[in-house]
């Protein structure tokens, strides 16, 4: 249908679909209920190449493009949004910064084990008093007198995969008087003294994706583990979030697709007043609107993925395309899952069916990696040039 989707793209999409439906879907409801991190399947995903799709082959990745990543992530998220979140963090938030700003030594130590599935990575930007306003960070990194280590103190919140992470890409202040320009990125070994896990968040959705606070208590980070230069952290974080938003669009699309498929099947099976409910015009209207929104989200996701791939040659930004895809797909996921529950009636509200899980999982896509409000601000600023 689209000539930009190659046989190679189709192969990874089909491989992801087969794995998702064969290995992930059967355990999705259970791990949602227990909140257990799916370590076994995540390591299998690493072995299959799903945890570093855009990472160059020399560092253990698949060396493919953004469209391949988006197609695969959609299939994984369609089976289980928790797996999609973990996959997104590895591919977008963690790996992207290392590929583009790391040294060869850093990539070998901190990147290869992540993309091959041997280690778990996390990304840490948010703080209790600093979400969208990154310039308000309270955590600090101070270079010691010998100039060999940064001493890091502070609290980070909503760190996805922190309870099981081996490595973390951390953003903290080295020059707080400079606000955004005083943020620096670091590569953190979570198994060293001074890295202290806080409470695990009891989340509404994506419950098998472990999330917690992290306390840094005089954590000593070697200078060679600084990612990029001092003060370059905000630039790194924003470039990472651009690519991350394409991942969230793919995750949201997968959730919406799953809810739509379930609704179509139910409309063809469920009978009321002597006919299939899919014969009622109100149900038909819902299904038609759901399909249109899903396909619009897919096209925006494709556009953003292709813009990112083109940017490798031109150096152009793809912030606008990424924000539009993330905004529309996330709000589509929330809207479609709401309609899906309505179509299923009382059964949609029951944990015996996956609709309520899709609904709970969809909500976070409107919040993390930039809320819908932030996406609208980013889009408007790109349109007007005004700040």
Query: Residue 217 phi/psi, 5° resolution?
Result: -120, 90
**Nearest Cα residue to 375 out of 330, 309, 334, 332:** 330
170 with 189, same domain: the answer is: yes
253 with 362, same domain: the answer is: yes
215 with 262, same domain: the answer is: no
Cα(233)–Cα(130) distance, rounded to whole angstroms? 15
Domain boundary among 211, 231, 251: 231
131 with 84, same domain: the answer is: no
193 with 284, same domain: the answer is: no
Q: What is the DSSP letter of 196?
A: E
**pLDDT on residue 315:** 84
- pLDDT mean over 126-150: 91
Confidence category of residue 1, pLDDT binned at 50, 70, 90 = confident
Confidence check: pLDDT of 335 > 90? yes
Structure tokens that stand for 304 in this block: 């953003």
- The answer to whether 151 touches 220, Cβ cutoff 8 Å, is yes
Structure tokens that stand for 82 in this block: 């928790």
281 with 380, same domain: the answer is: yes
Write the CATH number for 17.
Answer: 1.10.540.10
Residues forming the active site: 369
Whether residue 1 lies inside any domain: the answer is no
Domain that includes residue 370, residue range:
234-384
Cα(119)–Cα(111) distance, rounded to whole angstroms? 9
Write the CATH number for 192.
Answer: 2.40.110.10
244 with 346, same domain: the answer is: yes
Whether residue 2 lies inside any domain: the answer is no
221 with 279, same domain: the answer is: no
Write the CATH number for 274.
Answer: 1.20.140.10
CB-CB neighbours of 41 under 10 Å: 21
Domain boundary among 197, 213, 231: 231
The Cα-based distances of 179 to 137, 184, 323 in angstroms read 8, 11, 24
349 with 244, same domain: the answer is: yes
Hey, is 42 helix, strand or coil?
helix
Whether residue 98 lies inside any domain: the answer is yes
Domain boundary among 174, 197, 231: 231
How many domains would you assign to the chain? 3
Whether residue 81 lies inside any domain: the answer is yes
**pLDDT on residue 59:** 92
Whole-structure pTM value: 0.96
Whether residue 370 lies inside any domain: the answer is yes
Give 200's strand partners: 212
207 with 136, same domain: the answer is: yes
- pLDDT mean over 73-86: 98
221 with 334, same domain: the answer is: no
Whether residue 349 lies inside any domain: the answer is yes
The pLDDT tens digits of the residues spanning 347-371 come to 999 999 999 999 999 999 999 999 9
108 with 136, same domain: the answer is: no
**pLDDT on residue 350:** 96
């Amino acid at each position: 249908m689209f000539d930009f989707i190659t046989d190679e793209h189709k192969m990874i999409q089909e491989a992801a679909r087969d794995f998702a439906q064969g290995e992930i879907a059967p355990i999705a409801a259970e791990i949602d209920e227990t909140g257990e991190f799916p370590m076994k399947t995540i390591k299998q995903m690493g072995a299959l190449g799903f945890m570093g799709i855009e990472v160059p082959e020399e560092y253990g990745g698949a060396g493919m493009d953004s469209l391949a990543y988006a197609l695969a992530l959609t299939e994984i998220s369609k089976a289980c949004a928790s797996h999609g979140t973990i996959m997104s963090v590895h591919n977008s938030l963690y790996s992207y910064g290392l590929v583009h700003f790391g040294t060869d030594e850093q990539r070998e130590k901190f990147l290869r084990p992540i993309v091959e599935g041997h280690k778990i990575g996390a990304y840490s930007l948010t703080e209790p008093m600093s979400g969208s306003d990154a310039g308000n960070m309270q955590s600090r990194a101070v270079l010691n007198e010998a100039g060999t280590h940064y001493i890091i103190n502070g609290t980070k919140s909503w760190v996805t995969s922190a309870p099981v992470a081996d490595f973390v890409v951390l953003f903290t202040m080295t020059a707080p008087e400079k606000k955004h320009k005083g943020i620096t990125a670091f590569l953190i070994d979570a198994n060293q003294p001074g890295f202290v896990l806080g409470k695990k968040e009891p989340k509404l959705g994506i419950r098998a994706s472990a999330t917690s606070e992290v306390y840094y208590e005089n954590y000593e980070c070697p200078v060679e583990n600084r990612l990029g230069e001092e003060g370059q952290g905000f630039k790194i974080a924003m470039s990472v979030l651009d690519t991350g938003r394409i991942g969230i669009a793919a995750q949201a699309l997968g959730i919406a697709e799953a809810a739509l498929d379930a609704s179509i099947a139910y409309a063809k099976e469920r009978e009321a007043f002597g006919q299939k409910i899919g014969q009622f015009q109100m149900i038909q209207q819902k299904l038609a609107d759901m399909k249109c929104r899903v396909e619009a989200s897919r096209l925006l996701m494709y556009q953003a993925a292709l813009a990112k791939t083109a940017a490798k040659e031109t150096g152009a930004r793809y912030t606008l395309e990424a924000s539009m895809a993330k905004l529309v797909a996330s709000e589509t996921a929330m809207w479609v899952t709401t309609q899906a529950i309505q179509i299923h009636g009382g059964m949609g509200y029951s944990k015996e069916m996956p609709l309520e899980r899709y609904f709970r999982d969809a909500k976070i896509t409107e919040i993390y990696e930039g809320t819908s409000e932030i996406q609208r601000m980013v889009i408007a600023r790109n349109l007007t040039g005004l700040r």
